[in-house]
Each structure stands twice: as structure tokens, then as C-alpha cells.
A = this chain, B = another copy of it.
Amino acid sequence: MIDGVKQQKWWGWGEERISYQHADKPKFAPFVMKLTGVDVNAPVGPLPKLTDFEVPASILSDDLRARLVTILGETYVQTDDETRVVHGYGKGVRDLMKVRAGDFGRLPDVVVYPGTAEEVAGVVDAVVEANGVLIPFGGGSNIVAALEAVPGEARQVVSVNLGRMRKVLEIDEQSGLAHIEAGVFGPDMEEQLQARGWTMGHQPDSFEWSTLGGWIATRSSGMQSDKYGDIADICRGLTMVMPGRVLTLRPLPSTSSGPSVREMVLGSEGRLGIITSAWVNVHRVPAVREIQAYFFPTYEAGLKACEQIVASDASVMMARVSDDVETQYIMANGKQSSKVSSLVSKGIQKLMVAKGWDLEKIAMSFIGFEGSPNHVNYEKGLVGKIVRANGGLGVGKGPGALYDQKKYDTPYLRDFMLDHGMVCDVSETSTPWRYAAEIHTRTVAAVNQALDEIGKRGVVFCHLSHSYHSGACQYFTFAIADDSPSAMASYDHVKRAIQQSFMDFHGTVSHHHGVGEEHAPWLEQDISPAGVFIQKALFDGVDPGQNLNPGKIIHEGRPGISPNSADA
């Protein structure tokens, strides 16, 4: 470990010592068996060792190495196999399938660990002068192939790990702004902020293994975005190192200084430069924070309630509703003794039956409230009325507290399922409210049809994750039972179906994971060919030599899945 820079497993999510367990969740194995035919109690083979594979050699030149060592020192210029492999991919399921099979793609030739913005500038200028390629690296949790070099890249590839740059530099308490280095991981950042009574309130699923710089570079959203905003709202200023220059955008609440350069950096995925620090909105830790659980007779009723909440006088911190299958999944994934199961299995369940609900169709919802005790009560009152008007039922704080504890665990489950021959992934989209119910129905159907077409069993479920005045994000999880050599082709087929459904039914290619290489084939359908033309003009103008993470967002004639081609 370099200077305390945390590093994930080379073959999976998170830390070596943590993995998903289901021994205390007796409903889980039957649930998976019923939906997919996969036996999660079956023994699994040993994981591969990195030494089982031949790792492609680095082509770092002595000249460039010497320059990087001069700037950073020996310790911070790494070329060993494991470091290069960890930095060669993100953590999408496609990445894990490749890396576990020893398909390392075009690994970086060197991983550097600058400690200051000045060192980043030195690295950028040295690499561009050598006509190399720069790929910024935060937590390595990207799932849209934004961290891989272009296959066959003949130039030297340099992965720039920002992990040493992780300090909260300053809190402007009067303005509610903090200046923070870009390489900080979520928990480290919140610990530094909360020690002084502040929070950023940004909680993406990847929180434990993603960084401020990564959030900005991909336009991330957190679970509490209904109150705190997406990262595009939270990030008010930033510093980005570019070849031969440094962009400095001061923290400003709003401005009309021409097209927003801040918004051009947001979502730029390394194509304009390397973000080294940002000014972000921070808030006083609220007096009360409460996540209430509700049940609706159907997912559609839950969607309608969320739509009405944003149109009402209420201001909630989060509003999440799971569809029928995800609700069953949540209950199956609960510990025997947990309040989720116990609440649902006794009085509440009887009440639902008495109401005539189909227990296979119920939708679980978590709605969060923050503020003074009086304000939380006021908001709960406003929301309660809307829930009841849509046939919903409040079940108290217990399940919400459990959700809050477990909210970052899903990627470990994803890896566990992959061990058991099941390819699981997520993809999310946003639409206006008008299309919210339809895109859900259509996308579930599209996944099921795609599974039929390849003759595989699997499952798809969804929750509404973020609400806005005019619409919402829906977040789909899908799994394919396939441990055959063609599992990647199966994945491509289903992933293609889900993305095309998003495009066909008024959604975005992505709501908060970005474009990378994975979603690039759909970008013209999303923002129109003229939109891609405008982005390309920006990238080409800023980076005519294609030194800055080329091939991401817009890739021209690149391999990969395509909406129009047959399966790879």
C-alpha cells in the first residue's frame, strides 16, 4: 500500500477480508434458486491467482520513467503487475469477468501517485511531451469502462492515482463550502467533515470505494440527492490540471459567464484534464435524520406517490421505491431476526392481506427526512397524506435503519454471485414522470425477452432512486445464470437490450454512472448526433493529440457492443 492509498482486490470489489455471507439469511438461497435455478450453496472453485496468468509487460521508456521519478520519487512510480492490473479496469461485471480470465487488455505501463496539484501538473506535462496517454484513477469503482486504455494503444499509458490527495483543505463555515482534494474516498471525506459538524450528504452506492474526483468526472448522484443534489449541484468550483495550464474555477453559487466550464468538466471522464480538488456544498449535520419505510400495493402506486411528493410542498431527503421483484429480494436478503422480515411476516403481512393486496406485487419504499424534530414531523405529515392517498402503509423506522446500515453492501453480493456462475450488473436511466411506469415495464420485458433469446434464466428488478420536479431515475439490477464460456456474450445481449430499451422509451443512456466505452454506442440516440458533434468539438479542441483518456464518451470505430451489430 502506497502511503495509505487503499486498493481494491484485483479480481473483485473492495477489501480482501470482506465478502458477502448468507448463512444468517435463510430465505436467500431459496429465492435465488426459484428465480434463476442457481444453487448458492454449491461449492465454488478457487479464485484465480494473479501468478496463474502472464501479465503483459510494461512499455514504459527509461526516459519517461526517469522524468516521473524526478517529479515524484521512486516510491510513487509503480510498475509491478498487481498494481497495473488493479489500475487497468474498473469494477463492472464485464471487467471482473475479463480480469478473472486473465484478459488484461491494454494495461497501464505505469501507475503514478502524485501528492500535490503541482506534481500532477508535472506528470501531465511530462506524459504529453512524450505523447503518452493519461488516465486519471480514483477508487477504481467505475462500471462503464472509463479506466481502460484503448485496445492496442501503441503509446505509453500512465494511470494517475490521486489517492494521496485526500485532505479536506478548508471549510468555509459561513458559506457552507469545503475545499477538498479530489482523491479522497467517501468515508474518509465524511469523517473529516463530520469531525467538524459538517456533511456533504453525497452517498452513491460506490461511496466506500469512489472519490470526489471520480464523482465529478462521471456526474455521480447519491442516495440523498433529493435534498443534497447531484454532484453537479454540489460541486461549485474546482481545479483541473490540463496540458500546459491549470483550470481554476472559484466556488460560486451561480453565474452567467458564458457556457458553464464547470459543467463541461462534470462528466468529462478525464478527457479534458485531471481534477485535483473541488469546492463543494457542505451542510450542518442535521438534528434529526430518519428513514421511514412504507409499503404500496404495487410499484406503480409507489411511483405515483413519489411524483406527487415532488409536486407537493414537502421536501424530503430521499424517496426510494422498489418494484415487486426487488421487494421480494429485499425481504429474502434480510436476516431472520431483522425487522424487515419480522415486520412483514407478522402483523403487517396480515394487514396487507386484509387490504386485498397481492403479496407478490407489493412495493417497499424508503423515504428519508432531515431537519429539526419539528420539521421532520411536519414533512412526515405531508408525505404520510400522499402515501395514504396512493393506498400505501407506513411501517416505521426499523427497516429504514437496516437499509441505512447495509446500503453499500450490494457490490460484494454481485461478486459472490459471479463466483456462483451468475452475471449480475446494474444500469439506470432517468425519464420524465410521464414515461416512468412505461420504461419500467418495457425494460423488464426487454430483459426477459433477451434472456429467452439466449435460453438462459435470470432476473431483473428495479427501484426508483432519485426524484426531480419533472421526473425520476430508475435503477435496474439484472442477473443472468450463465457460467459457460459464452457468459460474456450472454451479458452483452442482455446489456444491449436494457440500454436500447432506455433509448426507445424516453430514457437517458445513464443517470449517474457516465458513458465510458460501455455506453458510447448509444450516445447519439441520447443527445442527438449534433450533441455528440458538440462534445467532440470540445474534446478535440482541448486535446488535439488525444492524450487525455481517449476513446471515452465518444469512441470512433472502436470495438465493443453496439446497438446495431450482432452479438460479439
Contacts and interface: CB of A to CB of B under 8 A. Distances in A.
Given A172-B432, A257-B509, A434-B174, A540 B538 contact: no
A20 interface: no
Given A177-B470, A245-B530, A530-B247, A252 B430 contact: yes
A249 B534 CA distance: 12
Instruction: Give how many copies assemble into the complex.
Output: 2
Nearest to A515: B258
A449 to B, nearest CB: 25
A425 to B, nearest CB: 16
B538 A257 contact: no
A518 interface: no
A527 B261 contact: yes
Given A260-B263, A508-B257, A281 B470 contact: yes
A172 B265 CA distance: 31
Interface string A235-248: 01000101001111
A473 B254 contact: yes
B254 A511 contact: yes
A531 interface: yes
Given A259-B535, A281-B470, A535-B258, A249 B528 contact: yes
B253 A470 contact: yes
A493 B102 CA distance: 68
A7 interface: no
A372 to B, nearest CB: 6
Interface in A388-436: 430-434
Name the prevailing secondary structure of the A interface residues.
mixed
A473 B257 CA distance: 14
Interface string A261-281: 101111111001000000001
A172 B242 CA distance: 42
A469 B281 contact: yes
Contact of A432 (B253, B256, B267, B378): B253
Contacts of A313: 371-372, 375
Nearest to A508: B255
Interface string A501-537: 0000010111111110001000100111111011111
A283 B537 CA distance: 36
A351 interface: no
A309 B38 CA distance: 55
A87 interface: no
A230 interface: yes
Contact of A261 (B249, B269, B378, B535): B535
Contact of A508 (B172, B252, B530): B252
A281 B433 CA distance: 12
Q: What's the interface size class on A, roughly?
A: 35 or more
Nearest to A544: B537
Interface stretch (A10-18, A42-50, A213-221): A213-221
Interface in A470-497: 470-473
A83 interface: no
A114 B300 CA distance: 44
Contacts of A37: none
Contacts of A515: 256-258
Interface in A100-152: none
A250 interface: yes
A174 B432 CA distance: 8
B259 A267 contact: yes
Nearest to A236: B470
A41 interface: no
A315 interface: yes
Given A470-B177, A527-B261, A230 B252 contact: no
A84 to B, nearest CB: 27
A259 B253 contact: no
A176 interface: yes
A175 interface: yes
B252 A431 contact: yes
Contacts of A258: 267-269, 514-515, 523, 527, 535, 553-554
Given A177-B434, A248-B531, A541-B541, 17 more contacts: A172-B432, A175-B471, A176-B469, A219-B256, A219-B260, A240-B530, A242-B530, A246-B530, A254-B473, A256-B511, A258-B267, A258-B269, A259-B266, A259-B538, A260-B264, A260-B267, A537-B537
